[in-house]
């Protein structure tokens, strides 16, 4: 909320500067977002006194000597007709920047030097008056800052009032706290006269009549209390300066004396208020009721709004004239022609106002306060202040007694809240003297009674947020000041919660990928998918991305395209994040996955390799193995070749302990011709369970939790005997998988085969078309003795025979 | 061969060696000389030593020792000569050491991850572990369990993306508080980093998905003093020991009392300091403990939440939050390790 420093000061003589006041509020009441001087541009102007003046012949100009408090009289040329010796005016010294944007400089006019400028109201941005310079009515000495003598130097405090403290949404509410914090008493602003005295309020349970005005409340749920009073013979016109200034300091625009008066009560006292043109109300009757099906109203903003029967309206004898707690109707608006008004204050139920303003999409200063909770016991006070204010600024007379329909003020009493001394000490971690607790709570309106073990505190009617002991503890703590509480590390017990295994896994995978030279991305997970395959956001931000991704590669692909549009050819991104799959329950199935997208140069250019090759499927396969090893340490991982012609360009499936958990694949991009092929790797690291841990209000502490399975490397004895090696270069048909050949080699090599390494693939000279030469290096080792050459040669020829017999594979002739 | 002949040959070689070694004028010469004198394949000493077997057995020991002494001496001379040659040899034409190292792509953690990791690291030192929860969440965990009244203005601070009846994208990491308290008994000291969602359009300072980090401590006797002291200790480690902090009033439905913590940030260049809000915190509301089935008269707790993205923006001077989402490789490379 925007609070005016001057207005706050009218409620409490706190004796603080705006900065000090802001600090006080920020430490004890609510967050201070900023302090803004409303006319900071007028800071350099001072009061100047014209000591001598003489006309410059044959011109409209005068030559003056001006005292600006500097001790030297300044020579100033002025074009205004009303310069008078001895009077004081706003003065701009040389170097001053005028609100219009020009800087006052020393200059020669008609042979006279001018060292500054005496200013008109218009030149100061204070109105349109430009017939002459602005004569100041002040005793202030020359040189005094202009803002100290003109009542336009207000300062705006921008205070972030949160949803639990609607009582702070007014100057009086804020002043109440300031009064407590400074010890200065809360007072009624001097600008307000005595509240309306006279006739006692006419009270009715559901309807009441006063003079010619009748009020009936049919919807006591939506409107538990309603008050009104008629004022006749008003003259609607401009507000007096002081009222216009108050309203402008927070609202921005003065409208007319009657509307400004209601706004004064809203921003001054936190009570929304509405003035109807009584002459437009059929039968001078107010009926508060639910809207009728299809009923429509043109609200003050000129929009025709169709209402529903869940909404509360204010109606006259014929039709709805206001949407309760939200906005008045245009037909009953106070205009320049209005003479009689009906002034309304009410307590509307917060939920009803909230539902209505949401349904209408109409957020107003009134609805903002009603939906958070206004003070139900302040109706009478604020109505009487408003009535006397309107009579004071717009004339007219109050006609008849105020009417009150609905629950009486006393019926809104809140229950007392107990607080024990032990609880206070436990929560705050320090002792507060009991008398201090009682005094502090009492100072902000609680009625406090001591009990055996603590206190019973009844909140004031404006504190809608207090229902439990911790609410009282917060008030005590913030009034003392959080900063005044001890700052002391105390003994603590270690916790029972182990690290979440998916966090541990994610850290390990991230370390591995960063180590492998990849860049981590954290894109937004919204995509354009299809309702068949994707989870749809019910109220998406953008219609072009209404779905949640089912795969991390969906978003990484868009990020790769983004890089391509910025001429980045080498893209190597990875992400660890959630993917969402449609599921039969309330929530989608959420998996934590790692996704990698690779394209472009495998390495940066180096003079030893001026054109590094682009990444290919083998690089992608290696990353697939890397993430699987990091994600599932010690597990059996296999990258199974996918059948050719798989959808989505899948090249390999990453199979962990027999379960397919991911893929290595090509990624189709919307890419320019110079872009390289893109490859993707995606692996599911685990499921984030979203089912209820336990029923609401219960826990599952006794539940057995299985610790994650551990894999420990089992040591293999180091070899002590020499190994024997030979290579096999074989002609293998293109369509025959290398794995097939390997299987035959392994099956026929016996236990002594230590390793089988595919080290070359060659197509070309000497290799028939449709075939390729694949070369393996076989290493044999006996654990206890050196293998003899003869044994090795024997194996070699045996293997070649078997390969030819079983697969038709023959050695490449050398 | 006799022992005397063997000795003579050794002596001849020993006598000749110094001049031969000194005569080596380059490293290539040196290699040739070494191979000739003591090379394993064709060295003269090697040839002499290969005759050891032809000596009478009783002479072999003495002969072996002699040959070995000669070998040690020659190798000493060779080493000295090689060092002298290496020191004198201009190496320039062979290895222009001004040229760049072989290049490899360097990886990088995302700047938001860097902040999360740093914060988690500090709280780990303070005895916290890491808890996680789902991003697609039940409305109850996100709001109801956290003491948000049904349809209350407090919800306006959480403009929510819904997935359906009772299902939403979590608007904060606080649901993890309740999940953790339901799953594990106090004492609890956890940190919950994760992504959260708000119905905010992308602009320079807003994003519909962003990282948040939640902390929770629950046990018997936990107080506001523990909250203050722990968060101050965190701030000292995160921002440096001399940084001032302060606590002011705030409001969250799930904490009471609620507070915000500000840190005094040095603007640099002698421009003074400014207070910046870095986190919201408070004592866990008893209603939240009760949601998780804990006895709120026995247990108390404190919690905090902060936004690593904002910290990343401020520490790296990012003018636009979208830089964190665009994934431009030139941006991410700036954070390479």
pLDDT (tens digit per residue) in A488-512: 999 999 999 999 999 999 999 999 9
* Strand-strand pairing, A213-217 and A285-290: parallel
B216 touches B146 (CB < 8 A): no
- pLDDT of res. B229: 97
Angle value at C-alpha B264, between B262 and B270, nearest 5 degrees: 155
- pLDDT of res. B215: 98
Superfamily of domain B111-335: Bira Bifunctional Protein; Domain 2 (3.30.930.10)
Of B131, B125, B160, which is closest to residue B143 (Cα–Cα)?
B160
**A300 and A216 in a common domain:** yes
Greatest mean pLDDT among A618-627, A632-641, B6-15 lies in: A618-627
**A220 and A364 in a common domain:** yes
- pLDDT of res. B64: 85
Interface probe with A: pick from B250, B275, B329, most Cβ of A within 10 Å: B329
Nearest to A427 among B163, B224, B250 (CB): B224
- pLDDT of res. B265: 86
- pLDDT of res. A128: 65
Task: Name the residue of chain A whose CA is nearest to B285's CA.
Answer: A470
CB contact under 8 A, B190 and A497: yes
In a domain, A190, yes or no: no
Which is higher by pLDDT, A575 or A109?
A575
What residues of B are in contact with residue A519 (Cβ under 8 Å)?
A: 107-108, 327, 329, 332-333, 336
Nearest to A588 among B163, B248, B283 (CB): B163
Q: Where is average pLDDT lowest: A438-442, A578-582, B73-77?
A: B73-77
Q: What is the CATH number of the domain that holds A799?
A: 3.30.70.380
**A169 and A122 in a common domain:** no
CB contact under 8 A, A537 and B166: no
**A337 and A370 in a common domain:** yes
What residues of B are in contact with residue A604 (Cβ under 8 Å)?
A: 103-105
- pLDDT of res. A449: 94
Q: What does the pLDDT look like over A568-619, one tens digit per residue?
A: 999 999 999 999 999 999 999 999 999 999 999 999 999 999 999 999 999 9
What stretches of A41-191 adopt beta strand conformation (E)?
Answer: 46-55, 62-67, 73-78, 88-92, 107-109, 112-114, 117-118, 155-160
- Of A409, A440, A471, which residue sits at a domain end? A409
- Omega into B257 within 30° of 0, i.e. cis? yes
Query: Does residue B71 register a pLDDT over 70?
Result: yes
**A230 and A330 in a common domain:** yes
Interface probe with B: pick from A350, A417, A482, A543, most Cβ of B within 10 Å: A482
In a domain, A197, yes or no: no
Nearest C-alpha of chain A: how many angstroms from B240?
17
**A280 and A256 in a common domain:** yes
**A56 and A23 in a common domain:** no
Token output for A54: 């003489």
Q: What does the pLDDT look like over B289-323, one tens digit per residue?
A: 999 999 999 999 999 999 999 999 999 999 999 99
Task: Name the residue of chain B whose CA is nearest to A542's CA.
Answer: B201
**A366 and A254 in a common domain:** yes
Percent of chain A exceeding pLDDT 90 equals 76
Query: How large is the average pLDDT for residues A290-296?
Result: 95
Domains of chain B by residue range: 3-88, 111-335
Angle value at C-alpha A254, between A251 and A256, nearest 5 degrees: 135
Distance from C-alpha of A497 to C-alpha of A491, rounded to nearest angstrom: 18
Which is higher by pLDDT, A133 or A581?
A581
CB contact under 8 A, A495 and B100: no
Nearest C-alpha of chain B: how many angstroms from A27?
5
Query: Does residue A129 register a pLDDT over 70?
Result: no
Query: How large is the average pLDDT for residues B47-58?
Result: 84
What residues of B are in contact with residue A548 (Cβ under 8 Å)?
A: 136, 163, 169
Nearest to B136 among A430, A559, A587 (CB): A587
Nearest to B249 among A28, A541, A698 (CB): A28
CB contact under 8 A, B182 and A693: yes
**A371 and A237 in a common domain:** yes
- pLDDT of res. B38: 85
Chain A with chain B: Cβ pairs closer than 8 A: 311
Across the strands, what pairs with A724?
A: A780
CB contact under 8 A, A522 and B161: no
Query: How large is the average pLDDT for residues A71-99?
Result: 89
What one-character DSSP code corresponds to residue A448?
Answer: E
Nearest C-alpha of chain A: how many angstroms from B17?
38
Average model confidence (pLDDT) for chain A?
92
**A131 and A30 in a common domain:** no
What residues of A are in contact with residue B219 (Cβ under 8 Å)?
A: 492-493
Distance from C-alpha of A757 to C-alpha of A323, rounded to nearest angstrom: 82
Q: What's the number of domains chain A is made of?
A: 6
- pLDDT of res. A43: 85
Query: Does residue A625 register a pLDDT over 80?
Result: yes
Query: Does residue B92 register a pLDDT over 70?
Result: no
Which region, left, alpha or beta, applies to residue A752 given φ > 0 means left and ψ of -120 to 50 means alpha?
alpha
**A617 and A525 in a common domain:** yes
Query: Does residue B154 register a pLDDT over 80?
Result: no
CB contact under 8 A, A522 and B324: yes
DSSP of B111-127, one letter per residue? HHHHHHHHHHHHHHHTT
**A256 and A129 in a common domain:** no
Which is higher by pLDDT, A104 or B335?
B335
Which is higher by pLDDT, B243 or A762?
A762
CB contact under 8 A, B223 and A426: yes
pLDDT band at A131 (very low <50, low <70, confident <90, very high): confident
Interface probe with B: pick from A474, A485, A488, most Cβ of B within 10 Å: A474
What residues of A are in contact with residue B288 (Cβ under 8 Å)?
A: none
- pLDDT of res. B291: 97
What residues of A are in contact with residue B187 (Cβ under 8 Å)?
A: 492-496
- Of A453, A483, A513, which residue sits at a domain end? A483
Q: How many CB atoms lie within 10 A of CB B25?
A: 10
Q: Where is average pLDDT lowest: A1-10, B8-17, B276-285?
A: B8-17
Task: Name the residue of chain B whose CA is nearest to A602's CA.
Answer: B105
Query: How large is the average pLDDT for residues A135-140?
Result: 85
- Of A409, A426, A446, which residue sits at a domain end? A409
What residues of A are in contact with residue B135 (Cβ under 8 Å)?
A: 578, 590, 688
Task: Name the residue of chain B whose CA is nearest to A32's CA.
Answer: B248
Q: What is the CATH number of the domain that holds A428?
A: 3.30.56.10
Q: What does the pLDDT look like over A236-252, one tens digit per residue?
A: 999 998 999 899 888 77
Range of the domain at A171: 2-38+154-182
Q: Where is average pLDDT lowest: A244-248, B52-56, B138-142?
A: B52-56
CB contact under 8 A, B294 and A164: no
Interface probe with A: pick from B225, B291, B322, most Cβ of A within 10 Å: B225
B74-109 as b/e, with b when 16 or more CB fall inside 10 Å?
bbebbeebbeebeeeeeeeeeeeeeeeeeeebebbb
CA distance from start to end of chain A: 89
């Amino acid at each position: 909320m925007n609070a005016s420093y001057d207005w706050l000061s009218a409620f409490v003589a706190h004796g603080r500067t705006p900065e000090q006041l802001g600090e006080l509020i920020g430490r004890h009441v609510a967050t201070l977002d900023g302090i803004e001087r409303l006319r900071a541009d007028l800071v350099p102007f001072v009061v100047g006194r014209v000591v001598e003046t003489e006309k410059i012949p044959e011109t409209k100009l005068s030559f003056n000597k001006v005292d600006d408090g500097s001790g030297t009289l300044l020579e100033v040329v002025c074009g205004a007709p009303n310069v008078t010796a001895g009077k004081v005016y706003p003065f701009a010294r040389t170097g001053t920047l005028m609100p219009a944007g020009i800087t006052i400089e020393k200059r020669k006019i008609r042979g006279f030097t001018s060292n500054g400028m005496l200013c008109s109201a218009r030149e100061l941005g204070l109105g349109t008056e430009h017939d002459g310079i602005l004569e100041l009515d002040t005793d202030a000495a020359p040189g005094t800052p202009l803002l100290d003598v003109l009542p336009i130097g207000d300062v705006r405090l921008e205070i972030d009032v949160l949803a639990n403290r609607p009582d702070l949404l007014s100057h009086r509410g804020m002043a109440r706290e300031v009064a407590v914090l400074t010890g200065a008493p809360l007072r009624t602003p001097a600008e307000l006269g005595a509240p309306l005295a006279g006739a006692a309020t006419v009270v009715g349970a559901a309807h009441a009549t006063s003079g010619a005005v009748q009020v009936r409340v049919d919807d006591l749920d939506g409107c538990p209390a309603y008050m009104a009073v008629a004022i006749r013979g008003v003259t609607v016109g401009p507000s007096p300066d002081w009222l216009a200034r108050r309203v402008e300091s927070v609202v921005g625009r003065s409208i007319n004396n009657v509307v400004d008066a209601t706004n004064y009560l809203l921003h001054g006292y936190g009570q929304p208020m509405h003035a109807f043109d009584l002459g437009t109300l059929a039968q001078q009757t107010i009926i508060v009721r639910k809207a009728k099906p299809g009923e429509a109203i043109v609200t003050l903003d000129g929009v025709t709004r169709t209402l529903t029967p869940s909404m509360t309206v204010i109606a006259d004898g014929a039709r709805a004239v206001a949407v309760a707690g939200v906005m008045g109707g245009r037909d009953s608006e106070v205009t320049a022609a209005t003479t009689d008004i009906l002034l309304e204050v009410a307590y509307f139920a917060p939920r009803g106002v909230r539902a209505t303003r949401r349904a209408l999409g109409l957020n107003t200063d009134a609805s903002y306060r009603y939906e958070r909770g206004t003070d139900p016991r302040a109706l009478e006070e604020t109505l009487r202040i408003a009535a006397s204010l309107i009579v004071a600024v717009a004339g007219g007379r109050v006609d008849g007694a105020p009417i009150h329909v609905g629950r009486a003020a006393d019926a809104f009493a809140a229950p007392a809240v107990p607080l024990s001394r032990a609880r206070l000490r436990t929560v705050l971690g320090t002792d507060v003297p009991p008398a201090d607790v009682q005094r502090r709570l009492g100072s902000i309106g609680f009625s406090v009674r001591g009990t055996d073990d603590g206190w019973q505190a009844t909140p004031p009617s404006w504190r809608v947020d207090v229902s439990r002991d911790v609410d009282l503890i917060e008030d005590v703590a913030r009034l003392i000041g959080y900063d005044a509480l001890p700052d002391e590390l105390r003994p603590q017990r270690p916790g029972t919660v182990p690290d979440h295994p998916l966090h541990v896994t994610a850290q390990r995978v991230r370390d591995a990928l960063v180590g492998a030279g990849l860049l981590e991305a954290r894109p937004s997970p919204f995509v354009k998918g299809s309702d068949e395959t994707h989870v749809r956001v019910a109220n998406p931000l953008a219609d072009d991305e209404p779905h949640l991704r089912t795969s991390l590669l969906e978003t990484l692909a868009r990020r790769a395209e983004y890089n391509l549009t910025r001429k980045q050819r080498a893209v190597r991104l990875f992400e660890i994040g959630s993917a969402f799959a449609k599921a039969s329950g309330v929530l989608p199935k959420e998996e934590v996955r790692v996704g990698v997208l690779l394209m472009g140069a495998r390495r940066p250019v180096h003079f030893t390799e001026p054109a590094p090759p682009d990444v290919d499927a083998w690089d992608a396969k290696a990353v697939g193995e890397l993430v699987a090893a990091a994600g599932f340490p010690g597990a059996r991982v296999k990258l199974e070749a996918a059948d050719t012609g798989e959808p989505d360009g899948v090249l390999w499936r990453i199979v962990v302990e027999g379960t397919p958990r991911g893929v290595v694949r090509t990624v189709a991009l919307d890419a320019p011709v110079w872009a390289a092929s893109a490859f993707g790797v995606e692996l599911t690291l685990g499921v984030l369970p979203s089912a209820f841990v336990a029923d609401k209000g219960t826990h599952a502490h006794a539940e057995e939790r299985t610790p994650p399975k551990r894999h420990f490397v089992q040591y293999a004895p180091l070899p002590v005997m020499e190994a024997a090696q030979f290579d096999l270069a074989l002609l293998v048909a293109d369509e025959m998988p290398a794995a097939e050949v390997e299987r035959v080699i392994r099956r026929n090599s016996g236990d002594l085969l230590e390793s089988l390494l595919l080290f070359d693939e060659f197509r070309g000279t000497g290799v028939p078309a449709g075939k390729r030469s694949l070369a393996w290096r076989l290493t044999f080792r006996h654990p206890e003795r050196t293998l003899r050459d003869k044994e090795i040669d024997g194996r070699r020829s045996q293997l070649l025979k078997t390969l030819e017999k079983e697969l038709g594979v023959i050695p490449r002739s050398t | 061969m006799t022992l005397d002949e063997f000795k003579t040959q050794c002596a001849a070689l020993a006598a000749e060696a110094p001049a031969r070694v000194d005569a080596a004028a380059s490293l290539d010469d040196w290699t040739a000389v070494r191979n000739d004198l003591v090379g394993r394949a064709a060295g003269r000493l090697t040839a002499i030593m290969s005759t050891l077997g032809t000596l009478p057995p009783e002479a072999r020991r003495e002969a072996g020792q002699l040959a070995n002494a000669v070998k040690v001496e020659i190798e000493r001379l060779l080493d000295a000569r090689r060092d002298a040659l290496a020191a004198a040899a201009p190496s320039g034409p062979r290895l222009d050491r001004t040229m760049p190292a072989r290049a490899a792509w360097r990886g990088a953690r995302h700047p938001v991850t860097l902040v999360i990791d740093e914060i988690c690291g500090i709280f780990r030192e303070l005895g916290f572990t890491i808890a996680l929860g789902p991003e697609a969440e039940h409305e109850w965990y996100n709001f109801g369990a956290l003491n948000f009244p049904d349809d209350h203005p407090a919800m306006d601070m959480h403009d929510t993306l819904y997935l359906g009846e009772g299902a939403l994208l979590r608007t904060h990491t606080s649901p993890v508080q309740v999940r953790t308290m339901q799953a594990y008994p106090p004492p609890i000291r956890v940190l919950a980093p994760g992504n959260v969602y708000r119905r905010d359009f992308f602009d320079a300072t807003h994003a519909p998905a962003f990282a948040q980090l939640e902390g929770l401590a629950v046990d018997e006797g936990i107080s506001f003093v523990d909250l203050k002291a722990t968060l101050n200790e965190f701030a000292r480690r995160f921002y440096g020991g001399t940084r001032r902090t302060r606590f002011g009033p705030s409001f969250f439905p799930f904490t009471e009392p609620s507070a915000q913590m500000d840190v005094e940030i040095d603007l640099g260049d002698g421009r003074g300091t400014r207070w910046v809000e870095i986190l919201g915190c408070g004592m866990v509301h008893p209603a939240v403990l009760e949601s998780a089935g804990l006895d709120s008269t026995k247990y108390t707790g404190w919690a905090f939440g902060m936004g690593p993205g904002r910290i990343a923006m401020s520490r790296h001077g990012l003018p636009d939050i979208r830089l964190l989402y665009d994934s431009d490789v030139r941006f991410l490379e700036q954070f390479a390790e």
